[in-house]
Structure 1
Amino acid sequence: MSGIVLQGLIAGLGTCLGALLVIVLGRMRPGTLSLMLGLASGIMTAVIIFDLLPSSLRYGSPTAALGGFMGGIALMLALDLGTNIFAPVTFPGRDYLKMGYLIATGIALHDLPEGLAIAAGFATAEKLGPLLVLAIGLHNIPEGMATSAPLRHGGLGAGRVLAINIIISLITPIGTFFGLVLVESSRSFVGPLLAFAAGAMTYIVLGELAPESRRNNRTLSYLGMLFGLSLIILLSFIV
């Protein structure tokens, strides 16, 4: 169990990598950001289509899979609406520090079902778990950037920004631990958990990553998506 929780921590530390990018490099060029977000979108889409949904149907009933999938979407939608209500990013004269803290809270809540997804992935097949670690880790990089940029713009020191992202990164392994406990108590949780993760990741891709990646450079966005899809398909043959 400890090894799987450690891999959950590795995925969570993608948030810290995103924070370091903001601290060291400052504002990323729009094209680079589009490419990175497109890459994360492609990887997560491939994991959803080729691994999470088929495995959820294999380890559970279609009804349980549908319920889990809709539950994942509903949770992400609730978190998204809550973030938009309490921290609208387009509000003029925004207090950047307050916005950064609220975004950090929302991302921390997002990371809990990601940890559950990693646990469910390792419970089904050896290759699905590492793929989820890779996909979620890459997805966490722009999340760390989204948290750190307003905090830095608001004047928060680099050390405190990094500390906040370290705390956020711990949520993923915590979710992984609780997911493993659920799976070990009953294998019937595996199918719904996988479908739940698929729903949550679908909402993240369609509602956040893909639209944002196309905002600045559509060509680089689509190239990133294509590379991400191809990478996961290739890994599925060699892992």
Structure 2
Amino acid sequence: MHDLFKILWISTIAGLATTFGSILVLLFGKPQERVLASLIAGAGGVMLAVVTVDLLPSAWQNGPPLQVGAGFALGLLFMLLAAKRLEVPNNTLPLSRRQRLKRTGLLIATGIALHDIPEGMAIAVSQEAASNLGFLIAFAITLHNLPEGMATTAPLKMARIRWWKILLLNIVIAFFTPLGALLGLLALENVQNSLAFFLALAAGAMTFLIFAELIPLSRERHPHYALLGGTIGFVFFTLVSVLHPG
């Protein structure tokens, strides 16, 4: 396992962005919708650049096309099934506003924890593929996790859940990212010639996250700010990747 300490360090920092986003809301309240839209879309733009400029080309160079296609498809499928599992079932019993807010916050927290595992895997396998690729993806995931921590905390705070319980929940969520990184390293160690597959798997998972969640969510109330944030994120990280190749 190469760069074990480095991979665990950068994946932990990326995961703790969720906790930092939670702290911001606990201290200052929920940010303006246009700021959230720009942040979420910016994270989507950065991820799209990582997928198209780094992950998929690296996967293509490291393995046969069939392996790349299978990994990408399975990444999409995994995230689709995860999203289906997290859908809120129709409930005929009336819930109070506080109960609805609490359930919303906990569902978001569960979704973030589930997403953080493949994101951590993406950091690990990418760092193994190229010296700076793991850092690029960790930075993209940091941008993504910051508004997610805010999204978890805002409804729980409105539901009058104690601040230390909210903070503890977000700290626990943060460590799913390094857990995913460890799982990614173990998979690479135990499955021979699997780097291309796992790079494509990470690309598929991130692609689903971009187009099924980040872009639609960012465009709900402020589509112009979302377009601006997404464009800046994509262009910025494309330039970073081109100017500093792995």
TM range (shorter): over 0.9
Offset of residue 110 of structure 1: 0.9
For residues 87-137 of structure 1, give each alpha carbon's deviation from its aligned partner in whole angstroms, at most 9, with x where no partner exists.
Answer: 89xx97452223322321221111101111111101110121110000111
CA gap of 1:152–1:87, structure 2 versus 1, over 3 A, is farther
Offset of residue 147 of structure 1: 1.4
For residues 66-85 of structure 1, give each alpha carbon's deviation from its aligned partner in whole angstroms, at most 9, with x where no partner exists.
Answer: 11111111111111111113
Residue 78 of structure 2 is aligned with which of 75, 78, 81?
75
TM-score, reference length from structure 1: 0.93
1:55 match? 58
Distance in 2 between the 1:3 and 1:150 partners?
34
Q: For 2:154, what is the secondary structure of its paired residue?
A: helix
1:18 maps onto 2:21 in alignment: yes
**Number of residue equivalences:** 237
Residue 34 of structure 2 is aligned with which of 10, 27, 31?
31
1:140 match? 145
1:46 match? 49
Which runs of no fewer than 5 residues in structure 1 stay unpaired?
none
Offset of residue 60 of structure 1: 1.5
Residue 5 of structure 1 is aligned with which of 8, 18, 29?
8
Which runs of no fewer than 5 residues in structure 2 stay unpaired?
none
CA gap of 1:187–1:137, structure 2 versus 1, over 3 A, is farther
For residues 170-213 of structure 1, give each alpha carbon's deviation from its aligned partner in whole angstroms, at most 9, with x where no partner exists.
Answer: 01001111211222334522111111111111111101111111
* Moved segments of 4+, more than 2 Å: 85-88, 91-94, 184-187
Distance in 2 between the 1:207 and 1:178 partners?
25
Distance in 2 between the 1:5 and 1:194 partners?
18
1:122 match? 127
Counting aligned pairs with the same residue, the percent is 39
Residue 177 of structure 1 is aligned with which of 182, 203, 206?
182
Distance in 1 between the 2:65 and 2:21 partners?
37
